[in-house]
Amino acid sequence: MLAEICGFNPDGGNRDHYREAREDRSELAQALRLSWMPKMTEGFFMRAESFYNFASYLDSVSNFLAYGGKSLHHQSHGESFLALFQHRFY
């Protein structure tokens, strides 16, 4: 829900990884109003429960160079998490 309010897909990723997973934001996300200083413009939402969906999305749109050159599905669960952290969060 917080990810939705901040502009991230609830299934994970950054703002460039938005896919049509939900038609609308949840009722709770629509009702809440957040504020912070300074406003965050960068970020990445990591959700272990839906990491498979994020990896599937990457399979359909990526050449994997930003993730170590190998599909996250062709690695163990731990290896794919490490690949994400090592290559995206430097």
State yes or no: pLDDT of 25 exceeds 70.
no
Task: Record the pTM.
Answer: 0.62
Domain boundaries, the chain: 2-88
- Per-residue pLDDT reduced to its tens digit, 40-83: 677 888 888 888 888 888 888 888 887 888 899 999 989 999 99
Following DSSP, what letter does each residue of 7-53 receive, concatenated? T--TTSB-GGG---S-SS--HHHHH-----SSPP----B--GGGHHH
Confidence of residue 34 (pLDDT cuts 50, 70, 90): confident
Give me the pLDDT at residue 67, please. 83
State yes or no: pLDDT of 31 exceeds 90.
no
